[in-house]
Amino acid sequence: MEAAEKSRRRLFLAVAGIALLLFAAGAYYLKGQERVLRVGIFVGSNWEVPHGNNYAVIDAAIREFREDYPGIRVEYVSGIKKEDYAEWLAEQMMGRKEPDVFFVLSDDFNLYASMGALMDLSDFMEKDRDFDAGNYYRAALDYGKYEGRSYALPCESVPALMFVNKTLLAQEGIPMPKNDWTWKEFLEICRQVTRDVDGDGALDQFGCYGYTWEQAAVTNGVVLFREDGRASYFADERMESAVRFMMELRGIRKGRVVTAKDFDMGRVAFRPFSFAQYRTYKPYPWRIKKYTDFEWDCVKLPAGPSGSNTSSLDTLLVSMSARTRHPELAWRFLKKLCYDEEIQACVLQDSQGLPVRRDVVLFGKAPDIFRKQAANVEDMDMATISDVMDEAVMPPKFKSYYAALLYADTEINKIINGTIPFNNSLNKLQKEINAMLQY
């Protein structure tokens, strides 16, 4: 009996030992699985400008994250071009293989948020004592909101600015506009510089290229859509004023089509560009490669009679998958990439966008980085840029926004070009857009 009892004990201990080993092995395996965090990113600039250091910001974020969490591996697929990224991410979504954390292109955010593909970050933001949403520029933070909830954090932003051909204005005896200039001043300068320079009877010098009715609407305080996306305000008198202004601006060039080549050759006084283009083409050597025959600088967009010198804001967003198995870990990395002060300074150092934290733009390393990169800047400093960011507005966030705007753009350009009469056209457009928004 004693021998049998010992045998049973040995068998029990053996089985228990095997079970313990299997449990430990399983726990180790699962732990190993939790240590991998996948990130979705594309190569190149989000702002359509040359970009040589494609992964500098993400790599810096990964390095710092691993110092805080040494047992965690963060990985991403390199080499995905921006033009292929939307399709790649959609395929990952369909296969339920999307990364834990991923960049979201502006055109895709509303769709992904509306279909529940993105994690609602609002609770993470509220409960994290080391996170203060008030450090962000409001418009940049709001860019990642959908129906009042945050589904993405901003990583970098670019507002629109007005490029000014300083050489052309100097030749015409016109001083550089100030940052508080108006539509009236804009029109006056465009009239002064638009003329036939070579005397062949055809206009060959112009006031502006690329200025849009949307920019005019923003600077005149127009709100195009109700926040819930169920109504539009194209018949607003401020919108009517913006369209009349655009018609007057177009009339100055008397039907002549102005091209990007005209601006590049120094024959146009003004062209709206993004801050990323300003940063890229202001310093040597890209300045020499792009614009060789004239000096230029930037100011804010001109203000309409009912608005201010503001601009729309484009923002690169980063989200978490709603299906991530590691939500807390993903949040920590997302915060490192989009909120950490050192990484935000890297945005200014290694990207063409702007940090989305106000304190990083105004203090710390950012002003020195900007001064070194954009030598001989006269009108733009970090304080002015911060003002632009503070005053910037973001596009609405509802599912059918881009479809409605595309239709409006076609119809409004017909009005500006004289294809359809102005009278009552904005009222008609508003009714048509409102009908679209009900579906």
pLDDT band at 284 (very low <50, low <70, confident <90, very high): very low
Q: What is the DSSP-derived secondary structure letter of residue 235?
A: T
73 and 63 within one domain: yes
Q: Does residue 267 sit within a domain?
A: yes
pLDDT band at 16 (very low <50, low <70, confident <90, very high): very low
Q: What is the CATH number of the domain that holds 45?
A: 3.40.190.10
Which structural domain range is residue 253 located in? 159-312+395-436
282 and 211 within one domain: yes
Rounding to the nearest 10 degrees, give the CA dihedral for residues 286, 287, 292, 295.
170
pLDDT per residue as tens digits for the range 50-93: 876 779 999 999 999 999 999 899 999 999 999 999 999 999 99
Inform me whether the pLDDT recorded for 351 exceeds 90. Answer: no
> What angle in degrees, to the nearest 10, is found between the helix axes of 401-416 and 106-114?
140
Per DSSP bridges, beta strands 313-320 and 153-165 are: antiparallel
377 and 407 within one domain: no
Single-letter code of the amino acid located at 264: D
Share of residues in the chain with pLDDT > 70 (%): 87
Alpha carbons 381 and 431: distance in angstroms, whole number: 44
Which pLDDT score, from 0 to 100, does residue 283 have?
61
User: What's the whole-number average pLDDT of the chain?
Assistant: 88
Helix, strand or coil, per DSSP, at residue 106: helix
Which residue, 331, 382, 374, 332, is CA-closest to 354? 382
pLDDT per residue as tens digits for the range 162-214: 999 999 999 999 999 999 999 999 999 999 999 999 999 999 999 999 999 99
Q: Does residue 13 sit within a domain?
A: no
What six digits make up the tokens of 223?
A: 């709100």
Q: What are phi and psi of 258, to 5 degrees?
A: -95, 140
Q: Does residue 170 sit within a domain?
A: yes
121 and 71 within one domain: yes
pLDDT band at 373 (very low <50, low <70, confident <90, very high): low
Q: Structurally, how many domains does the chain consist of?
A: 2
Inform me whether the pLDDT recorded for 244 exceeds 60. Answer: yes
Alpha carbons 144 and 56: distance in angstroms, whole number: 23
Q: Does residue 22 sit within a domain?
A: no
Which pLDDT score, from 0 to 100, does residue 10 have?
47
Residue indicated by tokens 């993470």: 124
320 and 273 within one domain: no
Secondary structure element (H or E) that encloses residue 165, with its range: strand 153-165
153 and 163 within one domain: no
Alpha carbons 303 and 392: distance in angstroms, whole number: 13
Alpha carbons 19 and 11: distance in angstroms, whole number: 12
| CB neighbour list of residue 236: distance below 8 Å, 6 or more residues apart | 222, 223
220 and 79 within one domain: no
Q: Give the CA distances from residue 145 to residues 117, 149, 198, 431, in Å, rounded to whole numbers and listed in that order.
A: 14, 5, 52, 27
Please compute the mean of the pLDDT values over residues 35-39 and round it to a whole number. Answer: 93
431 and 358 within one domain: no
141 and 252 within one domain: no
405 and 364 within one domain: no
419 and 280 within one domain: yes
321 and 344 within one domain: yes
| CB neighbour list of residue 342: distance below 8 Å, 6 or more residues apart | 60, 64
